[in-house]
Structure 1
Amino acid sequence: MRSAGGGSLPGMTQQTIRHTLDAPGAVLSYEVLGSGPVLALIGHPMPADGFRPLAEQLAGAHTVVLHDPRGTGDSTMTDPTEPPDVATLADDLSRVLAAVTSEPADVFGSSGGGITALELAATHPEQVRTVVAHEPPLVEYLDDAAVHRAAGEQVQRLYREQGLMAAMALFAQQNGFAPPPGAPAPPPPSEADLRSMTRLVLGMGTMTGHRVGELPAGQVVIGVGAWSDQATTGRTSRAVAAEHGLPLVTFPGGHGGFHPDQGGDPVAFAVALEEALRR
């Protein structure tokens, strides 16, 4: 494991240290900040930076672990054209948690990170205390899964024919990700954003087509955004909760309810997450 110094989040006195960890086919980047019980925040394809506003609210009561999934942020891959694999991402998260603590940890996963968190609970239940999977886009749980499968194939075909931005525009249209009223216009994508978008497109099928195995009783909660009734991820959240017999908890905002740049409120979201972890 290698470490590099980092700065502190605004309003925080703890120093944030960035670590790297070797894994098969990748070098994984993660940060540890705050103090208290371990809580990992994981996304996909969003890297750790997207969780910083939420982490600032949680680090006073938790040791927060922020992890860039392989191929995003500062986590590199030997072959960045290789599609994301749910089992591999869960194993990566398992390695990161093992490097931080020998005790079971709480895990909050959002979007594709929710899929990773569910897979971690299914395959490494001894490492988790409570898992909150927020809006996992597992379309195979839907009764119209074939329609979503075809839509994903259409996005990938457009990616090959017209490029990344055309594919992402179609993806947003398909999944009801129009910004909420009053949300600021997003800035132009950075290089890191483009890498994450590429991981999203490459993961259609391998990520969204996944089905989770048996989950440990009493340790997993599904989260859904209050604004997500019409979004695909709102439907998948309800479907996954119903099929696995899991509690369904409503969180403030929509798919990005923890991030102010996506119309979210990290303060209110942190309160809801703390309540979900205490269930």
Structure 2
Amino acid sequence: MTTRFAWKMVKSAPGAENFLIRHVDGILRFGMGDGQLVESLLVEDFGEILFAALLALLDDLEFEDSDVTALLAEAEHMVGARPADLRLKPGDIKVSDLDYRRYQLVGRRYLADKDWLPSRPEDIRPPRDAGDEFLRGEPATLTGRHVRAVLLRDSAQEADLDDLANIDLLRVVRSTFAIMINRYLYPDPDVREIDQLVARAHPGGSEPDFLKVEYLARTAMREKPPMDGLTGRDVYMACWWMLAVITDDWGRDEAAITSAVLEAEEAVAESGHRLR
């Protein structure tokens, strides 16, 4: 719901057209207590996004002037009562640089009633094991054999990177990841279940940031979050990070990993690409 709200806001809120949907989504979720997104939010236009998102939320909540007054009173009471969760350095946000005139209340909601989803109060489900229905055989390509060797930490079988095409490697890694995460998580994953994987995989303080990795995982689970700002390198690094966690959780099951790589080779070939 927060992703959809962010998408609607960026598409139609005054002055928000240049924001990344991912950054708006992150600010909303951070405000709801998702502290692990901090590194994803320290962007140049953080102050602008925060102010524009506040106005959009006021519109969506259909606040009257009296509601805003009460909200500000509550906020003033909270400031000082607890330390700030977002650690900003002097100069990170210059209030004098914010152009408040660009952002306005529009007097309408951004989310329609159909966009509201019921909460999922049940506990987070543990990830699934690898199962036992596998393709048998050996990877047919040098790229596939290299990916399998890296996942199984069999350095003796890894290829010389000079013999591999970067685009082939990206295609096989991304396809292998999509196959494995769909076996690892349930078909209807809670975002918290995805984030549990991301939190374990992400090294912290590195690009791609947490939200980029999460969005990539959600894409692999057949959702369609906006991928603005994600590069091929982001995809490559994020897939490897999460693949390493899944592989370890499966006890580096050679049959399961080989099967996933075989399926990935087939998927890449079916898309019209010829691998080395």
Which structure has more RCO (C-alpha within 8 Å, separation ≥ 6)? 2
Which of the pair is proportionally richer in strand? 1
- How high is the TM-score relative to the length of structure 1? 0.25
Return the index of the structure with the highest Cα Rg: 2
The alignment's TM-score, normalised by the length of structure 2, stands at: 0.25
